[in-house]
Amino acid sequence: MGFFQHLVQGTFPRHWLLLAAVIQTGSWLGASEPAGESGGFVRIAAGSFTMGSPADEPGRRADEPLHAVTLTRAYWLQRTEVTGEQWRAVRAWALDNGYPDLPPGRNGSAGGGCGRHPVTEISWHDAVKWLNAWSERDGRVPCYTVDGEVYRSGVSNTVACDFEGNGYRLPTEAEWEHACRAGTPTALYSGPIIHPGRAPLDANLDRIGWYAGNSGGATHPVGLKQPNAHGLHDMSGNVWEWCWDWHGEYGSEPRTDPAGPASGAFRSSRGGSWGNQASRCRSAHRPEHATDVRSRRVGFRPAHTCDQPPGG
């Protein structure tokens, strides 16, 4: 039976359907993504959700009050944390193109080995400059500026972000939590936390993330645990993920497109890491991190706003 007979009769061999799926998926991944890229981006629709946690959630902290958040922009979020391979591929371009001080990063918490561990030992400033470099390499407009100039070097505490542009950027805390929850109200996207400490093992967290209870004291290659309904991996655990927001109280009032305080001393990060107890991997947990610290527990995950596939 030929192709057009299949077309007319609606009967396609399985391998043709798989080929079509691969071709379609490839168009989303983009041809110019760095070597070792980790599965591309997923689109998160605009919408409303309840941010924060209820008072009876185990391990909860006082800075997570429940409140209504509306996000008016759809956005894209990378399926995985940035890997060591991905970091190095963009950094190699960046060092020759006006980004002199991007560090080599570390392949996971231990270094060495397979490049699909999340990159660590990169500060908040390193992360946003790397995102600007990736944007420039892909012909996009960099999101981060200082006094109107593209943020490529040095360390500034007056960085501005263009959330409407087409460049790569960090998610806001609200974007991160909206994407992580994928409609779930529970402590984790896989359900409640039963055991908030390091032990005994929490079954719901064990399914989705690497934390102190199951990591063996180290990062693991990205994408090995069960993703959420959007297809996002390792939102809980493996490495903390830098967000845009200066850390501060967000209160209990409804908010639209919140992006944190105008200034501050620390930035928020999300999701917990290989070295933390279960309660710190909750969807609502929101600690602060000093922006210039390069930690073996902290990495990041790129976002972008526009409906333009990476590399397109």
Return phi, psi of residue 262, to 5°: -70, -25
Residue nearest to Ca ion (CB): 271
Applying CB under 5 A, what is the total number of residues that bind Ca ion? 3
115 binds Ca ion per the rule CB under 5 A: no
Q: Taking contact as CB under 5 A, which single stretch among the options 176-184, 235-243, 254-262, 303-311 is the one that binds Ca ion?
A: 235-243
Cβ proximity to Ca ion, 136 vs 234, nearer residue: 234
80 binds Ca ion per the rule CB under 5 A: no
**Residues with Cβ within 8 Å of residue 216, at least 6 apart in sequence:** none
238 binds Ca ion per the rule CB under 5 A: yes
Q: Taking contact as CB under 5 A, which single stretch among the options 5-13, 44-52, 228-236, 278-286 is the one that binds Ca ion?
A: 228-236
| Shortest distance, position 241 Cβ to Ca ion, whole Å | 5
| Shortest distance, position 218 Cβ to Ca ion, whole Å | 14
| Whole-number Cα distances in Å, 5 to 10, 14, 74, 185 | 8, 15, 40, 48
271 binds Ca ion per the rule CB under 5 A: yes
| Shortest distance, position 77 Cβ to Ca ion, whole Å | 12
Cβ proximity to Ca ion, 143 vs 298, nearer residue: 298
Half-sphere exposure of 38 (CA within 13 A, CB side): 29
108 binds Ca ion per the rule CB under 5 A: no
Closest C-alpha to 202, from 53, 61, 58: 58
Q: Is residue 144 classed as helix, strand or coil in its secondary structure?
A: strand
Bridge pairing between strands 168-169 and 255-256: unpaired
| Shortest distance, position 184 Cβ to Ca ion, whole Å | 17
Dist. CA 187–CA 282, nearest whole Å: 5
* Angle, CA of 8, 11 and 15, to the nearest 5°: 125
Cβ proximity to Ca ion, 215 vs 238, nearer residue: 238
Instruction: Give 147-165 as a 3 state SS string.
Output: CCEECCCCCCCCCEECCCC
234 binds Ca ion per the rule CB under 5 A: yes
206 binds Ca ion per the rule CB under 5 A: no
User: Applying CB under 5 A, which residues contact Ca ion?
Assistant: 234, 238, 271
